[in-house]
Structure 1
């Protein structure tokens, strides 16, 4: 079991669920089965809240990760410090995660100005 607390409320958790569905059962080539449990909240979380949520869910029993953007938050240094003290792994999401996903399936160009509406 792997807990991944996410800043976002839909795109990142949806992607993690996709990983569960596609790869979570393992395979006959030696890949071990796994289960990712997304941890999120409606209207999102700050980086410090992401770290706290990961720590609370894993409770020292399972692997825990905190996943957040690094583009707009002032509490990132505190989140990084808290994660290190609690043994929580960190991963930075792409600031335009939905664009990153879309580019797996089709070309997309032009300036978005930080907005995901076009994506």
Structure 2
């Protein structure tokens, strides 16, 4: 009889150890459009603030870079998990999808679908899950540019890159270290982005806008 109980006992012990390794703050899943730039930047924040990967997962979309497909992948990953990435089904309190406006045809559809999913999904604790879009107009690099200067007028992606390279020489997508290079101006960037949010919103076509300040604030204050 004792031998029959041993596998169950070992399994219970393993589950207890996993639960012990998970921190007390919210579990967050972030799915990004880019496969390098945004994950590297957010990964730097996670490392800097010593956020456990069991609580903060950053994954890029495996369904492609179309905004609606990013939302669909995030929903799939949340519901089904990914054993290879050690992501359990429904193991999050919050889900964020990070994508750019650019010229994406499904941009507005993605915003609407994310809003429709917000509070509709339930996690493994039977709690309603926050599901939100983190959009940037025209692109993620606007958030980095706001660390160095105020932006009020619409910019094309190429102009954002040109102006950003005045401060981050040879800036290119996929490079590491962008958080370290900009974090000293984080307060300025957040203030500027918040100001833009009072003037416009993610649904506008061309006005500069980014929700990154909200996501960064969440991650940098998660343990407080």
Structure 1 and Structure 2 fold alike (TM over 0.5): yes
Return the structure number with greater relative CO, CA threshold 8 A, min gap 6: 1
CA drift of 1:103 comes to: 7.3
CA drift of 1:98 comes to: 4.6
> Could you say what secondary structure the match of 1:93 adopts?
strand
Structure 1-normalised TM-score?
0.68
Task: Find 1:72's aligned residue among 103, 107, 110.
Answer: 103
Structure 2-normalised TM-score?
0.40
Match of 2:195 in 1: none
The number of aligned residues is 109
Which stretches of structure 1, 4 residues or longer, exceed 6 Å deviation after superposition? Answer: none
Q: Conserved in 1, the CA contact under 8 Å of 2:39 and 2:59?
A: yes
Q: Distance in 2 between matches of 1:103 and 1:50?
A: 25
Match of 1:29 in 2: none
* Consecutive unaligned residues in structure 1, runs of 5 or more: 27-32
**2:23 is the alignment partner of 1:23:** no
Match of 1:49 in 2: 69
Identify, as 1 or 2, the structure richer in helix: 2
Q: Conserved in 1, the CA contact under 8 Å of 2:141 and 2:160?
A: no
Structure exhibiting the larger radius of gyration computed from Cα positions:
2
**2:115 is the alignment partner of 1:89:** no
Question: CA separation of 1:97/1:79 partners in 2, compared to 1, >3 Å: closer, same or farther?
Answer: closer
